[in-house]
Amino acid sequence: MEAKPESNVLVIDDSGTIRQGIKIVLHQAKLFDNILDASNAEDGLEIVKSRRVELILCDIVMPGMDGYQFLSTVKGLVEYRDIPVILLTGRDSVESKVRGLDLGASDYVTKPFEADELIARVRVQLKVKRLQDELKIAKQRYKEMSITDFLTEIYNRRHFMELFTLEFSRSRRYDFQLSLMIYDIDNFKSINDTYGHSVGDEVLRVLTRLIREEIRQHDVFARYGGEEFVLMLPQTSVDGAMSVAEKLRQKVAAYHFDSMDGKNITISIGVATYPSAEFDTSEKLINAADNALYVAKRSGKNKVVFADPSHETKD
């Protein structure tokens, strides 16, 4: 189980007496694991950059960088802008408070402060921060689910097509080579019929792992549908793509699947490469690879077939 990260609060004030008073109040409330402090905004900024901070209490009037400048700097940095900042002010004017709120402050406390009020305002900001963090995590999970195949945990067809369209446009603009392969598990229906769909699902997951172990980080691998997968290899020549495809075919054919009592499976692969006068659109390149796959299946399976731009295919 992953350890929960420590919760830290940062107190910035040029008065050591005020810092100590705030630290005593926060310590008694037991809201944080660590209470960090700085006597000026510059040092406070260094702490923010080096430690995980959940909340900041910052004085407005300080020598050098004041609280407004500190607030503006923190909110201008993407990685720290979500940290709530409570301003500490001896000024009770509406203008000073509004200015702080306009710059992104979450709240303010007027000095001298009441301990109960300070804790209440800190609790509110912590609750808001944690709700925001949960929302961010939920949004990230939803995004991952929307682009990922639930079974194999690689990209789904829709997201692959988005990436492929962009990469094809880039390859055409800069005259880069772009190879595409579509592969299909041979006789997959018989696996489901013989061993059941749960075993078929496990075969898909294991096969995905075998392929991922062999491809580059910037190659794009996706489930195209059913037992069909697609692999995009940017800046890869015909020879390079054919070499990769053959390596994948051999690796799969040699693997013994425990879920199938140690039996083997095979895959057929269709390969197409841009640039080509005949395959001058992303749709045509996909169709070429798909047609090459069809030839591989029709001519005996367990083989790699390249879509020749002359409309002939070869293995």
Residues in the chain: 315
C-alpha 181/C-alpha 121 separation (Å) is 58
- Three-state helix/strand/coil letters over the chain: CCCCCCCEEEEECCCHHHHHHHHHHHHHHCCCCEEEEECCHHHHHHHHHHCCCCEEEEECCCCCCCHHHHHHHHHCCCCCCCCCEEEEECCCCHHHHHHHHHCCCCEEEECCCCHHHHHHHHHHHHHHHHHHHHHHHHHHHHHHHHHECCCCCCECHHHHHHHHHHHHHHHHHHCCCEEEEEEEECCHHHHHHHHCHHHHHHHHHHHHHHHHCCCCCCCEEEEEECCEEEEEEECCCHHHHHHHHHHHHHHHHHCCEHHHCCECCCEEEEEEEECCCCCCCHHHHHHHHHHHHHHHHHCCCCCEEEECCCCCEEC
**For this structure, is 227 an active site residue?**
yes
C-alpha 14/C-alpha 22 separation (Å) is 13
Spot the catalytic one: 213, 227, 246, 312: 227
- CA atoms in the 13 A half-sphere facing the CB of 107: 19
C-alpha 93/C-alpha 101 separation (Å) is 13
Tokens at 302, concatenated? 């367990």
Q: Are 180 and 289 in contact, with CB atoms under 8 Å apart? A: yes
Q: Which residues are catalytic?
A: 227
